[in-house]
Amino acid sequence: MINFNYETEFIIEDELRISDWILQTIKQEGFKIEEVNYVFCDDDYLHKLNKEFLNHDTLTDIISFDYSVGKIIQGDIFISVQRVEDNANDFNVSFSEELNRVIIHGILHYCGYKDKSEKDAKLMRNKENHYLSRLL
């Protein structure tokens, strides 16, 4: 089950379409879903979480808390809509494209993909692009 929650005025336009896309991604990666909660918020909200739970005093676009067990995915994904908007401007892409990239990025982490090394980040980006192409 995919749940969308809002701590800001932003709302996803087509929750069903995005939810189906996420579920298909999980299935194609060989996983099953228990529950994933997306929480869309602002920079202040996510900054507080980043400091409290990760001891990082920085802004970020996404924080995910992974409670998955084996191939069963469950977790909470917090996304700063403000940060996504700023990143979209910085990367010269649409807000929608950047938002969808961040949405699927969190799921790919739950599927075991990392992004700390250059090699891992490249694989993550390729996977993001692959699944973004399936949504458009």
Annotated binding-site members for Zn(2+)? 105, 109, 115
H helical segments located in 1-136: 15-28, 43-54, 81-91, 95-110, 118-135
Q: Angle between the 15-28 and 118-135 helix axes, to the nearest 10 degrees?
A: 130
Binding-site residue ranges: 105, 109, 115
Sheet order of strands, 32-41 included:
2-6, 32-41, 72-80, 62-66
Query: Residue 48, exposed/middle/buried by CB under 10 A (0-12, 13-18, 19+)?
Result: exposed
